[in-house]
Amino acid sequence: MVKNTGSTGDPGEKTMKARQEAIKSYIEERGEVGLSELTTRFSDWSEMTIRRDLAFLEEQRCIIRTKGGARVLPTSYGVTEDVYGEREKRNFPQKQEIARKAAELAEADSGIFLDAGSTIMAFSRLLPDKNIAVITASPNIALEVLRTKQNPTLILLGGTLSRKTISVSGLHVLDQLRDLNVDTAFMCASGYSEEAGFSVGSQNECELKRTVIERARRVVMLFDSSKMETTMPFTFARPEDIDILVTDGAFPKKLRKQFTLKKVKIV
């Protein structure tokens, strides 16, 4: 348990800041937490004190309060992507849930594209060991498939490597994609809003994703609900551009209905 270094009464300013920073750091580490989890983790502080701290942190635009707790503040428009290592730690249970569902959509004797990102990494680990041609622009995804599977054939695209997304992009990649046929593209996004659709922080990444979607017979979007109402600078797809949305149980019912009306199957 985290111990309160201040008094049990009204804390001093330094103790209050330290407490709020501890709560903020814990939420950033976990991605999203419930109030009950916070009161258990910080057992020396009352629920009322934690609620007040959450309200303060939200006012300071450090977090977003939810009905049952709080979650990290989504990346807002114009801010670049977080580094890959930071994203991989967030919302791990949701990513595993999405990966398990998506694994059932990988068909033998087909060509699939695996996008970059931490959710796709979780998916690649659960990818069935079948006769599949795997195309990817992400070296770490390719290595993961190579390390854990015997049967898939790997096609790794070449281009300029991004340190943040661990994927390659550029005109050379687009030229390669235009010569490839993709049965199913397993894609991901950095954000989604009704106004902007699915978006990312890099123009090169946006162009790559658009080209893949154009080339694919079927598009499967792997998307966890923590990225809702996040708008990045570059839109690469809208609901009508995808065939299947694989998400977690927290995806809003209102949006589920809207996607369904656009003939998107939700898994």
Ordered per-residue pLDDT tens for the chain, 267 residues: 444 444 444 546 678 888 998 998 888 877 788 899 999 999 989 999 999 999 898 888 788 888 788 887 654 333 444 444 444 455 677 888 999 999 999 999 999 999 998 899 999 999 999 999 999 999 999 999 998 899 999 999 988 888 777 888 888 888 899 889 999 999 999 999 888 999 998 888 999 999 999 999 999 999 988 888 888 889 999 999 999 999 998 888 888 999 999 999 999
What is the chain's Cα-based Rg?
Answer: 20
pTM higher than 0.85: no
Class for the domain spanning 84-266: alpha beta
Q: Where are the domains of the chain?
A: 13-72, 84-266
